[in-house]
Each structure stands twice: as C-alpha cells, then as structure tokens.
Amino acid sequence: MAWRSSATSNEVLVANLERNKLIESERVKQAMLQVDRAHYAPASPYEDSPQPIGHRATISAPHMHANACESLLTYLQPGAKVLDIGSGSGYLTAVLANLVGPSGSVVGIEHIQPLVDLSNTNMSKSEQGRRMLDSGQVKFVTGDGRKGWKEDAPYDAIHVGAAAAEHHIDLTDQLKAPGRLFVPVAEGYMQHIYVIDKKEDGSLERNKLYGVQYVPLTDAPE
Ligand code: SAH
C-alpha cells in the first residue's frame, strides 16, 4: 500500500483513491466526499500520506482510512454503533459517522486531551460536523482505548488507529455478535492489520491482512 498521489481538492483526492481501487464502494466514496480532509490535516491535506498532528500522533493516510472503511463496511450499516480507538484528528470518526447515518453513532476515544479538543475543533469547522456533535451522533471521549469504552458497548464495529501489542480482550468483549474489529497488531518489528470477526455464536475468527506502520497503542503520556 505504498501508492502516493497529491491532489488539489478533496474531490480529486477521492477520485484518485477510487481510480487506484483504494476506494471500492460507492458508500465509502460518498462518506469520504462528505468530510473535507483539510479540516483535519494541518498540511498537504489532499496528498495520500500521513501527516503529523502534534503530540507524536499522525492523521493516517487517506488510503488507510479508505481501507479501514471498506474492511468494516458490512458492519457500518445505517443505525450501527461504532468505536474509533485512537481517534486523533477525528477525521475517520467523521467518515464513519457518515456511513452509519443519523440513526447510528460513533464514539472516538483518545488518551491525549489536547487531541480530543483538536478533534472537536476540527469537526466543528463544518456545519455537518457541528450537527453530528450537537445531536450526539459523534462524541469524543478521553481514555485508554485498550479498554474500549464500556458505556456505549456493544459495538457493531471497532476501529483501532494505533498498533496493539497483544489481544485486548475488552475490545472483542465489547463487540456485538456479529461484529468486527479492525486492528493493527505489532509482531516483532512488523505490524499487520487483523480483522477479527465475532460470529453469531460468539466465537472469534482472526484474519491477517497486510503489513502496515502505525504509532503504538501506549500508556498516556505524563
Ligand atoms: N485515526 C487517527 C489516528 C491517530 S494516530 C487519525 O487518523 O487521525 C493514533 C492515535 O492513537 C494517536 O492520536 C494516539 O494519541 C492514540 N493513542 C495511542 N495509544 C492510545 C491509547 N492507549 N488510548 C487511546 N488513544 C491512544
């Protein structure tokens, strides 16, 4: 997934992702068109690359956000409940909210308070974002995402935006059956995306996808 492109607008960014088959479904395309990445990325927002957002965090590359949505798509139906762990800039949280619609909801959890504040500020830049925050369709909370977020569990889909060093049991416990977890997992020097399905009988099925580079899920800084 090393493809890179630069574009001059959100529409061109999304068109490039679609042309390169990094966006495959119309629903993901429409959701990404609804969220202007310039509201979330401080520099080169329409380039397909990660960007620093401060506090040693990055907004992930658009192709990773597209792929996360594509991987979780079956579970992102209108009305679904979603948890976005390591929500950082808030960009993906907003895209996920577009996918589940006004009857669904998304919680973004982040352990660095200034980034929680930043995600609220970023989303408030658009009328749609302000509406989603005011209605409670989206909320950002401060906490250790390795424990999930019990208050609103269970979730149809959980996205993890930082690499886990182990299987965090709280996350699969907080999935509905059926439900799906998308998580980068650190294995030695390598990281891979895993998609973990909780089936209707409660059993788990793990599928390893491709190699990635994410910042790790860590303890909160002092
Ligand atoms: N999805 C975000 C990714 C941000 S980078 C985006 O694209 O903007 C990963 C984020 O995970 C960082 O913001 C980091 O602060 C956060 N993080 C790391 N460990 C965490 C933990 N234990 N709990 C919650 N957030 C965590």
Residue 109 and residue 87 in contact, taking contact as beta carbons nearer than 8 Å: yes
How many angstroms separate the alpha carbon of residue 110 from the centre of ligand 1? 6
Q: Omega into 154 within 30° of 0, i.e. cis? A: yes
d(CA 149, CA 115): 17
> How confident is the model over 66-115, as pLDDT tens digits?
999 999 999 999 999 999 999 999 999 999 999 999 999 999 999 999 99
Atom nearest to 55 CA in ligand 1: 15
93 Cβ below 6 A of ligand 1: no
Does the CB atom of residue 60 touch ligand 1 within 6 A? yes
Residue 4, pLDDT score: 54
d(CA 189, CA 109): 26
Catalytic-labelled residue, pool 5, 44, 49, 60: 60
Q: Which of 109, 160, 107 minimizes the C-alpha distance to 133?
A: 107
Query: Catalytic residue at 60?
Result: yes
Just give the CATH number of 60-212: 3.40.50.150
CA–centroid distance, residue 152 to ligand 1 (Å): 19
Tell whether the model's pLDDT for residue 2 goes beyond 60: no
**With a 6 A CB cut-off, is 83 part of the ligand 1 pocket?**
no
Structure tokens of 34? 């609804």
Asked whether the predicted pLDDT for residue 1 surpasses 80, the reply is no
pLDDT in tens, 159-189: 999 999 988 999 999 999 999 999 999 999 9
Per-residue pLDDT of 17-61, as tens digits, reads: 999 999 999 999 999 999 999 999 999 999 999 999 999 999 999
Domain limits, the chain: 60-212
Cα–Cα distance measured from residue 20 to residue 13, given in angstroms and rounded to the nearest whole number: 11
Share of the chain above pLDDT 70, in %: 97
